[in-house]
């Protein structure tokens, strides 16, 4: 049973087709794994054992008849507790939301999973309203790193990353407003993609506006491509959703990187102090890209530090999320969230529009950058996972989580597709991530380059001990 939890979604579907194992066997194994890891890692806010088993049994019957209902029939998935899932509370890590609901609607990405026969294992943990780059909340406590439980899993999709890393479902839905699928994926040693904004519809809309994306978190890039073909469908509830992609994400995976123009920025022009072990692992992977035929040039994008503009947009979004709360409810918020809500409420409309101007110019500059380069490669993060329960590493001097995530949040501002690929571990066995970024709408290119790294074996040796 433990071997089933180590298989990718692509491999599970192949096994269902061949009759090697069944959706019920796989779902039971995934549920057992989830229950096993929960006491130490705390990846879940709730599991759906009875419903998951019933959905798996229905899937098994469809496979027996040779009539699967979709691309993911019988595959276990988890859903971050930011996204609506019909019949289950979505509490967003907050004690201010009434569990009574009603909970009668799926988010668009969840609805697509349901249509394609996926098996929902459970809802995964998030910091309150997904506000920071680590995962702890007043509601569900601290989510820990699968490689070392004294360290953070990252955030805000930390539960999703830990679940995938430890075999509690090969596929997870996360959200990313400033790095929230890429940060925990890098810390936990898995793959994650923040798609182009609008590629995966979002409803209800995020209080953080067009910074927020829905993205796949998976064991590899091939699984993410498969998941994108399901969740990347338009939904009328999201007025900003894109039309369906013209090609196949899976079909473009084998294209390789030969001839691609790759810009490698190890530290954003010296703006970021990157830990030597992280820098070395990323450089080795970049050299592998060059060996596979990419034209690599060490150069930096014109990314003048946009953190103040991001803070204006982010803090204002937090204030909006909490605007309806009573004074008593505000007292029950995560103290850090309460602090940024106060800062956001003090911004004027002109402050907000000035930040939008910074964002617009950043997007223009990155658009011009990608006229020259197909891909930008950076470290996903300058560090590996630090102590659990803290927003910033001890002694770092950072005030907010954006201080240690300089490679991730700018690409939420520009709405570009960006993925993280595990490329090794540090001396403590903690994963290191490499980030791939492309121009808007070139999600398939990001997936293709990531898949090439997986096929080349660059991503080996990041499995948690004992998983």
Tell me how far apart the alpha carbons of residues 396 and 363 are, in angstroms, rounded to a whole number: 29
Q: Which of 59, 109, 140, 156 is catalytic?
A: 156
Q: Which of 22, 59, 80, 194 is catalytic?
A: 80
Q: Which of 180, 194, 206, 265 is catalytic?
A: 180
Tell me, yes or no, if 467 is annotated catalytic.
Answer: no
Tell me, yes or no, if 156 is annotated catalytic.
Answer: yes
Tell me, yes or no, if 22 is annotated catalytic.
Answer: no
Residues tagged active-site: 80, 156, 180
């Amino acid at each position: 049973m433990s071997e089933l939890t180590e298989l990718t979604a692509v491999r599970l579907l192949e096994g269902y087709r061949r009759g090697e194992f069944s959706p019920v066997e796989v779902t039971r194994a995934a549920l057992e794994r989830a229950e096993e890891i929960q006491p130490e890692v705390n990846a879940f806010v709730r599991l759906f054992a009875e419903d998951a088993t019933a959905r798996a049994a229905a899937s098994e019957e469809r496979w027996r008849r040779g009539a699967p209902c979709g691309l993911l029939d019988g595959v276990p998935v988890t859903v971050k507790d930011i996204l609506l899932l019909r019949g289950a509370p979505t509490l967003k890590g907050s004690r201010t939301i009434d569990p009574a609901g009603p909970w009668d609607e799926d988010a668009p990405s969840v609805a697509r999973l349901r249509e394609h026969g996926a098996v929902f294992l459970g809802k995964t943990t998030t910091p309150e309203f997904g506000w920071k780059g680590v995962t702890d909340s007043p509601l569900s406590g601290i989510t820990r790193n699968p490689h070392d439980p004294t360290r953070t899993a990252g955030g805000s999709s930390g539960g999703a990353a830990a679940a995938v890393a430890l075999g509690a479902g090969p596929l997870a839905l996360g959200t990313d407003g400033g790095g929230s699928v890429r940060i925990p994926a890098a810390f936990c040693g898995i793959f994650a993609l923040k798609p182009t904004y609008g590629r995966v519809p979002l409803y209800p809309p995020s209080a953080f506006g067009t910074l927020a994306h829905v993205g796949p978190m998976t064991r590899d890039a091939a699984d993410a491509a498969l998941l994108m073909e399901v969740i990347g469908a338009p939904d009328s509830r999201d007025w900003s959703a894109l039309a369906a992609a013209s090609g196949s994400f899976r079909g473009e995976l084998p294209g390789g990187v030969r001839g691609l123009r790759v810009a490698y920025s190890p530290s954003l022009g010296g703006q970021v102090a990157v830990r030597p072990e992280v820098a070395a692992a990323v450089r080795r992977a970049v050299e592998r890209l060059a060996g596979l035929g990419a034209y690599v040039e060490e150069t930096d994008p014109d990314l003048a530090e946009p953190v103040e503009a991001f803070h204006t947009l982010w803090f204002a979004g937090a204030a909006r999320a909490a605007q309806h709360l009573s004074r008593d409810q505000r007292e029950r918020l995560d103290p850090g969230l309460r602090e940024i809500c106060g800062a956001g409420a003090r911004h004027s409309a002109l402050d907000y529009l000035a930040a939008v101007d910074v964002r617009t110019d950043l997007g223009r500059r990155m658009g011009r950058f990608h006229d020259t380069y197909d891909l930008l490669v950076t470290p996903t993060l300058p560090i590996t996972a630090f102590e659990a329960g803290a927003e910033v590493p001890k002694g770092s001097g950072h005030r907010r989580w954006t201080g240690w995530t300089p490679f991730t949040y700018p690409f939420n501002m520009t709405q570009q597709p960006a993925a993280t690929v595990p490329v090794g571990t540090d001396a403590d066995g903690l994963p290191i991530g490499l980030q791939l970024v492309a121009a808007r709408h070139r999600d398939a290119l990001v997936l293709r380059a990531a898949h090439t790294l997986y096929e080349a074996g660059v991503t080996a040796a990041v499995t948690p001990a004992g998983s």
